[in-house]
Amino acid sequence: MRVVLILPTSTYRATDFVAAARALGAEVVVASDRVSPVLDRHGTRAVEVPFDDPERAAAMLTNLDDRGPVDAVIAVDDQGVVLAARAAEFLGLPHNRPEAAARTRDKRDLRRALDASEVPQPSWAQIDDVDHVPDVGFPGVVKPAGLSGSQGVIRADDAAAARAAAHRASDIACGGPLLVEEFVPGAEVAVEALMRDGVLDVLAVFDKPDPLDGPYFEETIYVTPSRLPDVAQAQVARVARDAAAALGLTEGPVHAELRIDGDRVRVIDVAARSIGGLCARALRFGAGISLEEVILRHALGLPLDDLRREAGASGVMMLPIPATGTLRAVHGQEDARAVTGVVGLEISINPGRPVIALPEGDRYLGFLFARGETPTAVEAALRRAHARLDIVIEPAP
């Protein structure tokens, strides 16, 4: 078996995906926007492809067939989903249509597709002039159409704030397209799912217990199983399935963000890839296989007999960056690891490196993992461990 993993150099996820592929006995080819020594060590072969030209990049990947057939092409992060779809199409492998994958990369196209299928979502409008932001009601949320991870997403409570947010978001997006959406109050959840022949299987629903009310939208704690009532979880799953169908997704991982406002569930975002960062380490299925192995098994046509999430509760905390500057130290790591229920801590930025807070930033300081008998116990363990960390940042001039 031969797997092409499309791995941007900025990804957190190379190690986990390569390890899962090798556990299945698959040969790994790493395709990246830049072949760094780190990526070269991960794969038996590493190739550089132009992420900004999916047609040419896909043609380069199909030429790998000269050295043996490619059995799966998997995009690890958002940047590679269109490229993966195009390459799989050329190779005759199960895939999302490239135009469906592309809809998940442009929030304007995503919103149009959801509108066309009457999937519930916030009211929205495209911003054509940063000095004249359309009125969708206040509070609103200004966001770049092509960025992810809450980068450039800013709440605005009045027209003046909306103009300021649009200018700032435009700078963050390097002049890229923007939109403004109605702010949806209420609890937010994340759905992790797998599309198989046009049918969406929900693998996990994560609660996000910290309120995401702005002015920026830094995500922190994810805990599963969800503590929502069964009827609410069923509605979340139904809306997620409707959203995936509206976008035309048919194969592979799906990560969706939804908000529950009273008895209404509305779609905030849908991505044609799995959960970001190292958050997938909070999930295990069947006899203990990872989410990465689930994705690889599906892509390779291997058996997926048991997709039930493991018993018990689990969670992850994406460690926020409290200020922009230079990271000097993260003290208290051993104390955090000693908290009952904590099963892992990964600091993903080295001391001496710059750190950038939201909305300009696009990375997290690291990841905390916990397991326990209940979601409440897991959430409490993550909060206790985080409180033991002392993050030292030298402010930027």
Q: Is the pLDDT of residue 77 over 80?
A: yes
**CATH annotation of 312-397:** 3.90.1170.50
Q: Is the pLDDT of residue 359 over 70?
A: yes
Q: What is the pLDDT of residues 261-299, one digit of tens each?
A: 988 999 999 999 999 889 999 999 987 899 999 999 999
For residue 231, the model assigns a pLDDT of 95
For residue 15, the model assigns a pLDDT of 87
Selection from 293, 291, 343, 269 nearest residue 313 by Cα: 343
**Do the first three CATH levels of 2-103 and 123-182 match, i.e. the same topology?**
no
For residue 54, the model assigns a pLDDT of 80
What pLDDT band is residue 374 in, cutting at 50, 70 and 90?
A: very high
Question: With the C-alpha atoms ordered 64, 58, 148, 269, is the resulting torsion angle positive or negative?
Answer: negative
Selection from 347, 320, 345 nearest residue 335 by Cα: 345
Q: Is the pLDDT of residue 143 over 70?
A: yes
For residue 235, the model assigns a pLDDT of 97
In terms of pLDDT, which residue wins out, 12 or 124? 124
Multiple choice CATH, 123-182, 3.30.1490.20, 3.90.226.10, 3.10.450.50, 3.30.390.10: 3.30.1490.20
SS (H, E, C) the chain: CEEEEECCCCCCCHHHHHHHHHHCCCEEEEEECCCCHHHHHHCCEEEECCCCCHHHHHHHHHHHHHHCCCCEEEECCHHHHHHHHHHHHHHCCCCCCHHHHHHCCCHHHHHHHHHHCCCCCCCEEEECCCCCCCCCCCCEEEEECCCCCCCCCEEECCHHHHHHHHHHHHHHCCCCCEEEEECCCCEEEEEEEEEECCEEEEEEEEECCCCCCCCCCCCCEEEECCCCCHHHHHHHHHHHHHHHHHHCCCCEEEEEEEEEECCEEEEEEEECCCCCCCHHHHCEECCCEEHHHHHHHHHHCCCCCCCCECCCEEEEEEECCCCCEEEEEEECHHHHHCCCCEEEEEECCCCCCEECCCCCCCCCCEEEEEEECCHHHHHHHHHHHHHCCEEEEEECC
What pLDDT band is residue 67 in, cutting at 50, 70 and 90?
A: low
Residue the block writes with tokens 């750190």: 355
Q: Is the pLDDT of residue 211 over 90?
A: yes
Mean per-residue pLDDT of the chain = 93
In terms of pLDDT, which residue wins out, 8 or 245? 245
* ω into 215 cis (within 30 of 0): yes
C-alpha span between 270 and 173 (Å, rounded) = 19
Q: Is the pLDDT of residue 66 over 70?
A: no
Q: What is the pLDDT of residues 327-349, one digit of tens each?
A: 999 999 999 999 999 999 999 99
Fold of 2-103: Rossmann fold (3.40.50)
Tokens of 39: 């990526």
pLDDT > 70: percent of the chain: 97
Q: Is the pLDDT of residue 91 over 60?
A: yes
Mean pLDDT, range 34-49, rounded to an integer:
65
What pLDDT band is residue 394 in, cutting at 50, 70 and 90?
A: very high
Among 96-100, 116-120, 264-268, 303-307, the minimum mean pLDDT is found in 303-307
Q: pTM of the full predicted structure?
A: 0.93
For residue 149, the model assigns a pLDDT of 87
C-alpha span between 240 and 119 (Å, rounded) = 9
Question: With the C-alpha atoms ordered 233, 234, 240, 244, is the resulting torsion angle positive or negative?
Answer: positive
Q: Is the pLDDT of residue 37 over 70?
A: no
Q: Please state at what angle helix 54-62 crosses helix 81-91, rounded to 10 degrees.
A: 40
Mean pLDDT, range 364-391, rounded to an integer:
97
What pLDDT band is residue 397 in, cutting at 50, 70 and 90?
A: confident
For residue 106, the model assigns a pLDDT of 97
For residue 364, the model assigns a pLDDT of 92
For residue 65, the model assigns a pLDDT of 61
Among 52-66, 149-163, 166-180, the minimum mean pLDDT is found in 52-66
Q: Is the pLDDT of residue 12 over 80?
A: no
Q: Is the pLDDT of residue 170 over 70?
A: yes
Selection from 25, 82, 79, 110 nearest residue 362 by Cα: 79
Q: Is the pLDDT of residue 38 over 70?
A: no
Reading across the β-sheet that carries 154-156, which strands appear in turn? Answer: 124-127, 178-182, 140-144, 154-156
Strand 342-347 relative to strand 366-372, pairing = antiparallel
Q: Delimit the domains of the chain by residue range.
A: 2-103, 123-182, 312-397
For residue 10, the model assigns a pLDDT of 73
